[in-house]
Amino acid sequence: MKTLLKTGYYSVASALLALPGMALAQGNVNNPFEMAKNQVSNVGNTAGVGTAATASLPEVIGRAINVVLGFIGILLLVYILYAGFLWMTAGGEEKNVEKAKTMIKNSIIGLLIVIAAFAITNFVLGSLLNITGA
């Protein structure tokens, strides 16, 4: 009886694993693999990498500044997570809790500065592009 149940389970599992292959065998109509391939091929153009040769100087500078500000934002997020970890593992020691609170406060101030810098650079570079007509 156990062998029969095992065989039944394996048969059902095999059939369920084969279903996506049968569904995708109908062609490229709504084939998720084809759709992913098409999206990946367009990523460069969407990100602006494919058009880098025709980009103006303010556009290139704006992209570079946005990348740098993005990395700084990621570092600040990691800093906040580290401060939260320190606070959680402080074990009630006031010195460690105060250190974690200070780190969180400083990282939030830094994050606000990065957001302001991002907004200012987007405004200034957008205005430059509108003025130059690029």
Digit-by-digit pLDDT tens for the chain (134 residues) are 667 666 776 776 666 666 665 555 555 556 666 666 666 666 666 665 555 456 677 777 778 888 888 899 899 999 999 999 999 999 889 999 999 999 999 999 998 998 898 888 888 877 877 887 65
Q: What's the pLDDT score for residue 18? A: 64
- pLDDT tens column, 59-74: 777 788 888 888 998 9
Model-level pTM greater than 0.75?
no
pLDDT, the chain, mean? 77
Task: Please state the three-class secondary structure of the chain as a single string.
Answer: CHHHHHHHHHHHHHHHHHHHHHHHCCCCCCCHHHHHHHHHHCHHHHHCCCCHHHCCHHHHHHHHHHHHHHHHHHHHHHHHHHHHHHHHCCCCCHHHHHHHHHHHHHHHHHHHHHHHHHHHHHHHHHHHHHHHCC
